[in-house]
Structure formats: structure tokens, C-alpha cells
Structure 1
Amino acid sequence: MAPHNYIHARMPTPDESELLGLPAGEPVMILQRRTFTRDGRLVEFARGLHAASRFAWSYTFKIPD
């Protein structure tokens, strides 16, 4: 399977700010992931909305032999 992650920042909507308890002016991070089988079939889709001040991303890249 081949996952693809897309991360970007934007300003939250008023509802998102309220739900996340954000101070005025704090951006949010959007994490979107799609995972495909080897033949290209989508098998997973996920989208997360995170307060930028509480968001950290760590990733390990596997280098083929």
C-alpha cells in the first residue's frame, strides 16, 4: 500500500476555533491522508484538524535497498 499525506495550514472557521478552544488569530493544521493499494484503489481516507500550537509531525522515510 502507498499512503500519501498532505499537510497545510489555514485560519480556522469560527466554529472550528470554538470547538478547539483557540485564541484569536491561531491557525489550524490540516492533515489529509489517502492510502492506495498497489493497483491504485483508494482504501483509506482521513482528515484531521489540529490547533497549530499543539501540532507536531514526525515521519521516517524508508530508503529502498
Structure 2
Amino acid sequence: MVNGAKALCLHFSLIRTAKLHGLDPCRYYVKVLEKIPHCQSVEDYEVLLPWNIQLERVGVAAAA
């Protein structure tokens, strides 16, 4: 049960961070899940952070 709660917190953290950076959380999440299997270095993972990823921004209004 505790592991499930920790996993849920991780997912919500990704979603909220995407929103705070003006990204569509669904598109961000899909892109991250597509790219993670191909990551081989810390730099590869850092590119996927919401403030680094190259996705179309959805605007501040969607972040609320």
C-alpha cells in the first residue's frame, strides 16, 4: 500500500510540474514515457525535465 502511495505521488508530481511550466500534462507525460527507455545518461534524463523539454507551451491559463 505504501509503495502505491509513493508511485501515485511521483505521477502527480510530474503532472503538477508540467502544469506549472505551461505544458499540457498529458502530452508531457506521453513524451516522457516514450523517451525514458532510450535514456542512457543523466543528460538524457535532464532533457526530459519540464523546463528543458521541447514541447509547445499551452499557456499560463492552463496551469491553474
Indicate the TM-score class for this superposition, using the shorter chain for normalisation.
under 0.3
Look at both structures and tell me which one has the larger radius of gyration over its CA atoms.
1
Structure-2-length-normalised TM-score: 0.28
Higher strand share: 1
Bigger relative contact order, structure 1 or 2, given CA contacts below 8 A and separation 6+? 2
